[in-house]
Structure 1
Amino acid sequence: MYNSEFQLYDNGRLFKAVIRNYTEADFDALIQIQRECFPPPFPEELWWSKEQLTNHVKIFPEGAVCIELDGEIVGSMTCLLVHFQPDDPPHTWEEITDNGFIRNHASDGNTLYVVDISVKPSCRKLGLGKLMMQAMYQTVIHLNIDRLLGGGRMPGFSRYAGEISADEYLQKVVAGQLKDPVVTFLLNCGRVPIRLEKNYLEDEESQNWAALMEWKNPFKNR
């Protein structure tokens, strides 16, 4: 199980930060984070339910982490194990994550798949998402599996959808010509896009597109 304590410094203030596995006692706080992170037009039914969160902590607790600042939960990240090869057919978020219930978790899977990562908007300048991502990279190494993988929303695409294709948009973001709130963050975390997924998730801002992005385990015996 994961538990890491450290200090964060921002604007002359020290914060005690903790990354740990979340538990049933944290469910209300985790749902509130979803409300703040994904306001309308993001569909409310895609916020976590307590049934989904219960599955996370029972089926694969190693893939369910949260981050605290001075004792307050301000972010979370959830993953499951799947079997994946780069030439596999397209998938949706609902298919690959069992609609967030992760009952399809494969204990012998070769890929740690990101179901969700969320950080309260008021705390996003502290690099908390990147810290949780790095914690999951450590889990990939510990499990000796091939990669961390997940579909990154492209919420900035809606501004350009009438001018360029999703592929062109992604290329411009990777080249640094455009910035996307999610894809640019994932690039800064060391993840690399391997393909686009159409109709990945009902998401007006992304026009339902997602960039499938991976981090390869550098220590894996291939």
Structure 2
Amino acid sequence: MYYSEFQLYDDRGPVQTVVRNYTEADFDGLIEIQKACFPPPFPEELWWSKEQLKSHINHFPEGAICVELDGEIVGSMTCLIVHFQIDDPPHTWEEITDNGFIRNHKSDGNTLYVVDISVKPECRKLGLGKLMMQAMYQTVIQLKLDRLLGAGRLPGFCRYADQMSVEEYVDKVAVGELRDPVATFLLNCGRVPVRLEKDYLEDEESLNWAVLMEWKNPFKNIQTKG
């Protein structure tokens, strides 16, 4: 199981930071994170339920982590393992995550797939999302998987949809000409765009598009010299 301590600094000074696996005792705090990250008019029924969270820790506890600041849970990240090849058919969030329950987790799969990552808005300048992402990269290496994979929303696309295609938008974000709140964050975490997913989830800002992005395990398929 994962447990790592850090000391970060905000306006108040040093802040004790812990990234660890979440447990049933954390469920209320995890739901509060969802409320803070997805306030109304976001549908309340789409926040994590305790049934979903319990399914996470029952099926794949190694993929269920949270981050604490001075003992308060302020962020979480959930993953499952799937079988994936780049030429696989398109998928939706509901299909790949079993509607958030991850009962389709495959311990013999090759890819760690991101179900969700959330950090309370007031804590986002501390780099907590990147800390959790790095923890999952370590999980990829430890479990000898091929990659970490996940689809990022494109909430900035709606402002440019009348000027360019979604392919052009992602290309411009990838080279730094445009900034997207989600895709740029994932790029800064070392993720690389793989392909676009149409109708990935119902998301007005992204016009239902998402970009599938991966981080490859650097210790797989290494060519050794004699």
If the length of structure 2 is used for normalisation, what is the TM-score? Answer: 0.96
Equivalent-residue separation in structure 2 for 1:147 and 1:67 (angstroms): 22
Asked if 1:199 is matched to 2:199, the reply is yes
Task: Give the conservation status (yes or no) of the 8 Å contact 1:42–1:203.
Answer: no
1:91 to 1:5, Cα distance in 2 relative to 1, 3 A: same
1:90 aligns with 90
Equivalent-residue separation in structure 1 for 2:43 and 2:93 (angstroms): 14
1:27 aligns with 27
1:189 aligns with 189
Asked if 1:77 is matched to 2:53, the reply is no
Asked if 1:111 is matched to 2:119, the reply is no
After superposition, the C-alpha distances for 1:31-88 in whole angstroms (9 at most, x for unaligned) are 1111111224433322111110000011100000000000000000000000000010
SS in 2 for 1:113: strand
Question: Gapped runs of 5+ residues in structure 2?
Answer: none
AA matched with 2:57: V
Count of residue correspondences:
222
Runs of 4+ in 1 over 6 A off after TM superposition: none
SS in 1 for 2:32: helix
Deviates more, 1:158-167 or 1:176-185: 158-167
2:60 aligns with 60
Equivalent-residue separation in structure 2 for 1:42 and 1:165 (angstroms): 26
SS in 1 for 2:14: strand
Equivalent-residue separation in structure 2 for 1:167 and 1:159 (angstroms): 14
Equivalent-residue separation in structure 1 for 2:44 and 2:160 (angstroms): 25
Equivalent-residue separation in structure 1 for 2:119 and 2:68 (angstroms): 10
Equivalent-residue separation in structure 1 for 2:47 and 2:166 (angstroms): 25
1:70 to 1:82, Cα distance in 2 relative to 1, 3 A: same
CA-based RMSD of the aligned residues comes to 1.1
2:178 aligns with 178
Equivalent-residue separation in structure 1 for 2:52 and 2:32 (angstroms): 15
Q: Measure how far apart 1:220 and its partner are.
A: 1.4
Equivalent-residue separation in structure 2 for 1:193 and 1:42 (angstroms): 27
Equivalent-residue separation in structure 2 for 1:167 and 1:113 (angstroms): 23
2:155 aligns with 155
SS in 2 for 1:202: coil
2:16 aligns with 16
Equivalent-residue separation in structure 1 for 2:15 and 2:162 (angstroms): 44
1:218 aligns with 218
Equivalent-residue separation in structure 1 for 2:43 and 2:210 (angstroms): 16
Equivalent-residue separation in structure 1 for 2:45 and 2:213 (angstroms): 25
Question: Gapped runs of 5+ residues in structure 1?
Answer: none
1:214 to 1:38, Cα distance in 2 relative to 1, 3 A: same
SS in 2 for 1:118: strand
Equivalent-residue separation in structure 2 for 1:37 and 1:155 (angstroms): 14
Deviates more, 1:156-165 or 1:209-218: 156-165
SS in 2 for 1:185: helix
1:130 aligns with 130
Task: Give the conservation status (yes or no) of the 8 Å contact 1:42–1:204.
Answer: no
